[in-house]
Amino acid sequence: MHLQGVNVLVVDDNIFQRNILVEMLRSFGCKNITEANNGFEALKITRDPILNNIDLIFSDLRMPGMDGMEFLRLLSSEAHNIQIVVLSMMDKKMLSAVNKLTSLYPIQLIGTFQKPITLQMLNEILVKREKVLADTPTLRGIQNFNFTLVEILEGIRQKQFKPFFQPKVDLKSGRIVGAEALARWIHPQHGVVTPYAFIPVLEQAEQIDTLTFLILEESAVACRVLHDQNHLVDISVNLSMVSLGHSHIADKITSIVTSAGADTKYITLEITESATMTDVPIVLENLARLYMNGFTLSIDDYGTGFSNLQQLTRIAFGELKIDQSFVFGLSYNEATKIMVASNIDMAKKLNIKCVAEGLETLEDWEMLNKMDCDIGQGYLIAKPMAIQYFYDFMDQYRNRRFNPKTAVL
């Protein structure tokens, strides 16, 4: 890993910690390092027409003047192609705040890490950065897409949207236990387009159901085909909160799955909480009906946004997905470790399955296993893939367990 030619900005009011990081960065071959005491100074640097070529920022959160959160907010509206690493002492509240913030802004967050930084941590961060960069051509393309509702709906009508499948693995045995269906638009001109370019548009226009039904149907068919081939896996489908506000949605979902010849007990519905919807009676009614009809309900992106303990006990959730922002670098972060461990512990006591998403390293796999987390999903195992590749993947693992130690990334 080397940083030659990379322009780095280190933002921290603590000169001692700043110096340590600067020295470490130099040991990775970094020559162009700029330093700032707080958000104000940092913004001046990123806005400077001559200095304005920063590639990577390490930022503290708590700083006098302008703190890290305000800095990230302002930066995100001006520069999207800078990668950001947050370094902080991070208690749980701070973590959630930063995760919420970064999920709202189009910035490339590499991770949130607890100080003091070590050489090994820095190395991990830089490996992750390479991966983010490798994905960037598509990312950048997608961010520039500005599809209209009409274009998206026409694409759905023409069935250009397909679920891609990402395997879920039992962390103890390495057995493939299921997959999550993730929507992709196979666009005739632009190739594979990921959800951020179309889900928000559809949700805002209250048109998300059309996509949900299409993805659900194809996922249910895949589930049946896999079962016919003797792969007894579960398939997870994402369900928008917006849809849960519509009456009769539960019956419609059930009839799509059964018409496709699949059994609802093998279909998991992943739901991300949102602030406004949690107390609407129709949402609770739909959730209860889906549960009654045999579906497993999963709480997605747990730890960010509005998902909380109360939701878990009030609604019949059978699965909890720990958000990927808490999973990456878990083994290096004491505060995150404590939080994730207590979430797993609580889920166990409530008889709820735990899934860790965004599993990218062997260290994180081992740590999660030690914490008794049930299932892992992430690039360490496989990226989401088109259905024909997923069938091949399953065949490959018919008599074999996934071994994280020999995983090729």
Phi-psi bin for 303: left (phi > 0), alpha (psi -120 to 50), beta? left
Structure tokens belonging to residue 27: 């040991």
Residue of 41, 124, 218, 270 that binds Mg ion (CB under 5 A):
270
Question: Which residue type sits at 252?
Answer: K
Residues 166-195 touching ligand C2E, rule: CB under 6 A, are 166, 182-183, 194-195
75: nearest Cα among 112, 37, 45:
45
The answer to the question of residue 367 lying near ligand C2E (CB under 6 A) is no
Measure CA 250 to chain center: 26
| Neighbour tally for 290: CB within 10 Å | 24
From CA 350, how far away is CA 352, in angstroms rounded? 5
Cis omega (within 30 of 0) on the bond before 195?
A: no
The answer to the question of residue 270 lying near ligand C2E (CB under 6 A) is yes
The answer to the question of residue 301 lying near ligand C2E (CB under 6 A) is yes
The answer to the question of residue 319 lying near ligand C2E (CB under 6 A) is no
Task: Kindly state the smallest distance separating residue 271's Cβ from Mg ion, in Å.
Answer: 9
Residues 373-392 touching ligand C2E, rule: CB under 6 A, are 378-379, 384
Residue of 51, 127, 199, 288 that binds ligand C2E (CB under 6 A):
199
**CB under 5 to 8 A by kind: which of ligand C2E, Mg ion, none does 166 bind?**
ligand C2E
Residues 315-344 touching Mg ion, rule: CB under 5 A, are none
The answer to the question of residue 273 lying near ligand C2E (CB under 6 A) is no
From CA 208, how far away is CA 217, in angstroms rounded? 14
* Straight-line distance from the first to the last Cα atom of the chain, in angstroms, rounded to the nearest whole number: 16
Task: Kindly state the smallest distance separating residue 148's Cβ from ligand C2E, in Å.
Answer: 19
Residue closer to ligand C2E (CB basis): 215 or 249 = 215
Question: Which residue type sits at 82?
Answer: I
* Residues binding ligand C2E (CB under 6 A): 166, 182-183, 194-195, 199, 208, 211-212, 215, 238, 240, 270, 272, 300-301, 324, 357-360, 378-379, 384
